Amino acid sequence: MQLSSAHHDERLSAPRSWWGICALVGIACALTLFPLGALPPLLGLVAGSALSAMAVSSYGSARVRVVNGSLAAGDARIPVAALGEPEVLDAEEARAWRTHKADARAFMVMRGYVPTAVRVEVTDPADPTPYVYVSTREPLALAAAIRAAKGAAAGA
């Protein structure tokens, strides 16, 4: 079995400002517990900051990869043979596909803080999913990797 040389790997990490919000959540927790003495605010600061940081880290851990003939977006692994031609979406078009053009049956890995995306139709007739929408900071690179993986899969 020949592995595809097409490769794309991207982590949709949360913006830096969200980490500042984690610190503010910790401070808010500490202020809430301030009337209870010296130790509860300290525990509130640590616990509030840690829990909010875990939430931001979890949300920002989504990965988008094209490797070994598959598009891996979030938890999904989709063979490129089941995909059509990738469409690069600029910020305005990506917003339209996230809102009024969206299909409830579509598979979407979207992050509102990532303005651009790639949309790829699902061509497998047995799959009811009409398309895959993937937020990406590098839409041209992702589309090129999908095309290259499809070419490698067709040539194998």
What is the distance between the alpha carbons of residues 117 and 66, in angstroms, rounded to a whole number? 15
- In this structure, what are the phi and psi dihedrals at residue 8, rounded to the nearest 5 degrees? -150, 135
Three-class DSSP category at 76: strand
Structure confidence by residue, pLDDT tens digits, 128-151: 999 999 999 999 999 999 999 887
> Tell me, what's the pLDDT at 60?
80
Is the confidence at residue 154, as pLDDT, over 70? no
Is the confidence at residue 7, as pLDDT, over 90? no
What is the distance between the alpha carbons of residues 73 and 62, in angstroms, rounded to a whole number? 7
Counting runs of H as helices and runs of E as strands, what totals does the chain give? 4, 8
> Tell me, what's the pLDDT at 4?
44
> Tell me, what's the pLDDT at 93?
94
CA distances to 88, 91, 95, 96, 135 from 115, rounded to whole Å, are 12, 5, 8, 11, 7
Structure confidence by residue, pLDDT tens digits, 29-78: 999 999 999 899 999 999 999 999 999 998 888 889 998 889 999 888 99
Model pTM score: 0.80
Is the confidence at residue 2, as pLDDT, over 60? no
Q: Enumerate the domain spans of the chain.
A: 13-59, 63-155
What is the distance between the alpha carbons of residues 32 and 45, in angstroms, rounded to a whole number? 10
Is the confidence at residue 5, as pLDDT, over 70? no
